[in-house]
Chains A and B, each alone.
Chain A
Amino acid sequence: MSRVALALALLALGLGALAVYLHGERGRLRRRLDAAGDELQRMQAAFGRFAPGAVVDRIVARGRPSDAERREVTVLFADLFGFTALSESLPPEALVALLNDYFGHMSRVIEQHRGQVAKFIGDGLMALFGAHEPNPWQANDAAHAALAMQRALGDFNAERAARGVPTLRVGIGIHAGPAVAGVLGSQALMEFTVIGRTVNLAARVERLTRTHDAAVLVTDAVRAQLDPRFRLELMPATAVRGVAEPVATWAVMGFDARGVTT
């Protein structure tokens, strides 16, 4: 009898231990699932900075890039003047630190003006306005961003000049029009970007800043949407690669905040 009682007691003890173990396992599993959920949310939040929320949702739901869409966007290209020569005179770590510092300043300004930096290309960058959300004021936002970038670079340079290190000069080109927006790339590297003639012309206009010795250039398509308080100067129409007709551009000289639209 006592052996049976002992066996039952041992069985009960074993079952109890198993229950405790399973409970612990379930808790651990729950915590792991929660952690995975947190991680997924963090990924979505992080990716959400680079792609529209709806795009992120579709990617998460389908596990693959979403459909592309045609949108009206304003594209801003910024590129440093004479940076190749400067880069050859700097040690690699100083070069990378300089670029990261510069990109940090420019990115903040672009985000403050409702734009998104789409990519860094060497010492240049491409920013988009109206690509994430439809934005009827995107041309004004881009032009304000360009002027603010030049001001921010002025402050950046003043601090560098005080330290006796080389200063930077940037040319900015802006064009607006239809473009195809979507997530491009492979499983290993994806990015939300826009492609098309509008993007190509914006890049060409940025190159024209050297030709016209202008800090900020915009095309007619941008000018047509701009607040009349922007001070503009017409530049000579210039042939650019990939465009049949010479391209007229306008240098953005400033903005009269106290002026009133008429």
Chain B
Amino acid sequence: MPALDDVEWEACLLEPVRNAPVERALRKALGTVPPGLRYFLDSAWWMDAAVALDLVHIPLLHLDPNLAEMVALVVSQDSACRYCFNMTRGVLGILGFSEARTRQLEELSTELDVTERAALQFARRVSRATPLVDAAEAAPLRALGWSDAAVKELVALTAVNVFFNRAATLPALPYEDATRLFESPLMRLAAPLLRRFVRARRARQPVPLTAAEREGPFAPFVNTLDGLPVAPRVRIAIDACLRGSSLGRRATALVFAVVGRGMGCPVSEGEATRLLLADGMPAADVDAALAHFTAPSLTPLERAAAALARDAIWPQPARLQRQARDVQPLFTRTQFVDLIGTAALANLVCRLSAAMALDA
């Protein structure tokens, strides 16, 4: 795999864990325990979010399932996530993509279909997101006949991929796992079944948000996706994180605020700041925390979480992984796992601003 061979990648910071009840729940919801999730099984909210956002299970209203997998490849490549890149390459192999075709995708070759190329280029912009994507950048897709709802589904899918990319990159999940998985004879036997399953993820009609789903933190990011099957799933993930993270709601909100500040996303930063103020953090402390990752009322854990969150914004795996290794001793295992998920989710949310831009 030539594309990410040069990307520096540290040794994995976590060991996989066993958790029989959670594994049973995952099998029930997803049909299997995805190998990457084995590292995060000790966090309950993480599992709720992972099930809600599982890419193979999100029904697609507008996008072709094959295009969805192509987006996954391009985003993992752009995020320099060796783990997700290998995984997606394996899935593409199962879907029948030849090596030559996969390479065309990696290179965004001019031999690609015009629509595919425009969609993948847009996905890369959403993935990169600095500066945030504006409505004008969707013009090539609109010119090709894409509705705003279809573009938003592409944005959401890209953002969900970024979530899993960051979650795999931060603890340096071993990318060799993915290679081994797809080389196993069992996987080859199961390939036809998986192919049918992946391609069957069509939604027949829009899925409107309920009144309750339209309320809550970061509502603008969820509501802009109203009608898409992914929208209530994003709501579930955000609520699960804010309610269930062992970091506590304040540290969780701080991570969201830092990522919002770093990505130049005022809506996300504003939403997170409201949560911090509601939790009693003085406004001066919020300002100081976002400017310098420290303030009188911050705990050492909150300072470390904020400082690490900033490095989760940019796709520079080795730096992020070394930073994570440095701060890891400050956290319990569950807190560290929750920090990984929170930073990943904050990145997802900011990238949804590309969908909000279409409403402006």
CA distance A86 to B7 in the complex (A): 39
Q: Is the CB of A140 within 8 A of B292?
A: yes
Q: A37-B2, A136-B262, A136-B264 are in contact. List 5 more A-B contacts (CB 8 A).
A: A37-B107, A134-B130, A137-B291, A137-B292, A261-B291
Indicate if B296 sits at the interface (CB-CB under 8 A).
yes
Q: Is the CB of A229 within 8 A of B262?
A: no
Q: Is the CB of A227 within 8 A of B103?
A: no
A260 — which chain B residues lie within 8 A by C-beta?
Answer: 294-296, 298
Indicate if B6 sits at the interface (CB-CB under 8 A).
yes
Q: Is the CB of A229 within 8 A of B294?
A: yes
Indicate if B31 sits at the interface (CB-CB under 8 A).
no
Q: Is the CB of A53 within 8 A of B128?
A: yes
B6 — which chain A residues lie within 8 A by C-beta?
Answer: 42, 45
CA distance A14 to B106 in the complex (A): 40
Q: Is the CB of B310 within 8 A of A137?
A: yes
B292 — which chain A residues lie within 8 A by C-beta?
Answer: 137, 140, 227-229, 261
Indicate if B261 sits at the interface (CB-CB under 8 A).
yes
CA distance A85 to B262 in the complex (A): 44
Q: Which of B292, B294, B310 has the most CB of A within 10 A?
A: B292
Give the interface of B toward A (CB within 8 A). 2-3, 6, 78, 100, 103, 106-107, 124, 128, 130-131, 261-262, 264, 288, 291-292, 294-296, 298, 310, 314, 319
- Shortest distance from the beta carbon of B109 to any chain A beta carbon, whole Å: 9
Give the interface of A toward B (CB within 8 A). 30, 34, 37-38, 40-42, 45, 53-54, 57, 112, 114, 133-137, 140, 225, 227-229, 260-262
B128 — which chain A residues lie within 8 A by C-beta?
Answer: 53-54
A42 — which chain B residues lie within 8 A by C-beta?
Answer: 6
Q: Is the CB of B262 within 8 A of A34?
A: no
Closest B residue to A46 by CB, please name it. Answer: B6
- Shortest distance from the beta carbon of B276 to any chain A beta carbon, whole Å: 15
- Shortest distance from the beta carbon of B229 to any chain A beta carbon, whole Å: 31
Can you list 8 A-B contacts (CB < 8 A)?
Answer: A30-B100, A41-B2, A112-B319, A134-B264, A137-B310, A229-B294, A260-B294, A261-B288
Q: Is the CB of A134 within 8 A of B131?
A: yes
Contacts A54-B128, A229-B292 known; A136 to B261 CB distance under 8 Å? Answer: yes
CA distance A41 to B103 in the complex (A): 11
Instruction: State the 8 A-B residue pairs at the shortest beta-carbon distance, nearest first.
Output: A227-B292, A261-B288, A38-B2, A133-B130, A261-B294, A260-B296, A45-B6, A261-B292
Q: Is the CB of A261 within 8 A of B264?
A: no
Q: Is the CB of B296 within 8 A of A37?
A: no
CA distance A101 to B296 in the complex (A): 41
CA distance A25 to B119 in the complex (A): 34
Q: Is the CB of B314 within 8 A of A41?
A: no
B107 — which chain A residues lie within 8 A by C-beta?
Answer: 37, 40-41
Q: Is the CB of B3 within 8 A of A41?
A: yes
B288 — which chain A residues lie within 8 A by C-beta?
Answer: 261-262
CA distance A228 to B292 in the complex (A): 9
Q: Is the CB of B296 within 8 A of A261?
A: yes
- Shortest distance from the beta carbon of B343 to any chain A beta carbon, whole Å: 16
B264 — which chain A residues lie within 8 A by C-beta?
Answer: 134, 136
CA distance A37 to B107 in the complex (A): 8
B103 — which chain A residues lie within 8 A by C-beta?
Answer: 34, 37
A40 — which chain B residues lie within 8 A by C-beta?
Answer: 107
- Shortest distance from the beta carbon of A66 to any chain B beta carbon, whole Å: 14
CA distance A262 to B314 in the complex (A): 29
B3 — which chain A residues lie within 8 A by C-beta?
Answer: 41
B261 — which chain A residues lie within 8 A by C-beta?
Answer: 136
A135 — which chain B residues lie within 8 A by C-beta?
Answer: 262
Q: Is the CB of A133 within 8 A of B294?
A: no
A54 — which chain B residues lie within 8 A by C-beta?
Answer: 128
Closest A residue to B292 by CB, please name it. Answer: A227
Closest A residue to B307 by CB, please name it. Answer: A137
CA distance A37 to B125 in the complex (A): 22
- Shortest distance from the beta carbon of B111 to any chain A beta carbon, whole Å: 11
Closest B residue to A141 by CB, please name it. Answer: B310
Within 8 Å by CB of B314, from A30, A133, A225, A229, lies A133
A136 — which chain B residues lie within 8 A by C-beta?
Answer: 261-262, 264, 291
CA distance A34 to B3 in the complex (A): 12
- Shortest distance from the beta carbon of B180 to any chain A beta carbon, whole Å: 24
CA distance A137 to B293 in the complex (A): 10
CA distance A189 to B130 in the complex (A): 27
Closest B residue to A42 by CB, please name it. Answer: B6
CA distance A114 to B316 in the complex (A): 10
- Shortest distance from the beta carbon of A60 to any chain B beta carbon, whole Å: 9
A37 — which chain B residues lie within 8 A by C-beta?
Answer: 2, 103, 107
CA distance A262 to B287 in the complex (A): 10
Q: Which of A40, A45, A229 has the most CB of B within 10 A?
A: A45
